[in-house]
Amino acid sequence: MLQPFDDTYFMRKALQEAELGLTKGEVPVGAIIVCNGQIIAKGHNQVETLNDPTAHAEMLAFTAATNFLGSKYLKDCTLYVTLEPCQMCAGAAFWTQIGRIVFGAADEQRGFQHWHCKVHPKTDVTGGVLATESEALLKQFFMQMRRG
């Protein structure tokens, strides 16, 4: 049976956030946070826009989600992000105690798994959801940058 609100559905929403970042000249990474089947937070990279190296999609989504819930913990939530979180974002995920992380493309250079960085022991991690689409957006951005 087809589930309309599965990982693919929510990752497509994260991809929409990444595309929004792309239109603003940001590295196209998008994130959403889902709680009880409802999107409670969205974010896309705003490093250039805010001149802030910590303004990653995940970080902005964490802030929005904790504000929405009125709690610093996201135990019953899932983070959907188009690119594997970096060490900083994995560290923030640890502190939020997020229940689950689903990412699209692996990041062989900066991804938390490459650096053997850990998220909270109770956090489930799933990678590779719509990885091809996520990678295509990143490739598009970096090709545009090279053309310049």
Helix (H, G, I), strand (E, B) or coil at 25: coil
* Letter string b/e over residues 113-134, b meaning 16 or more CB atoms within 10 A of that residue's CB: beeebebbeebebeeebbbeeb
* Residue 58 bears catalytic tag: yes
- The per-residue pLDDT for 148 is 66
Helix (H) or strand (E) holding 83: strand 77-83
- The per-residue pLDDT for 15 is 98
Residue in 58, 108, 133, 135 annotated catalytic: 58
pLDDT in tens, the chain (148 residues): 556 799 999 999 999 999 999 999 999 999 999 999 999 999 999 999 999 999 999 999 999 999 999 999 999 999 999 999 999 999 999 999 999 999 999 998 887 877 666 788 899 999 999 999 999 999 999 988 888 6
Q: What is the model's pTM?
A: 0.94
Pairing type for strands 77-83 and 100-105 reads parallel
Runs of H (alpha helix) within 1-148? 7-23, 47-50, 57-69, 87-96, 131-147
- The per-residue pLDDT for 3 is 64
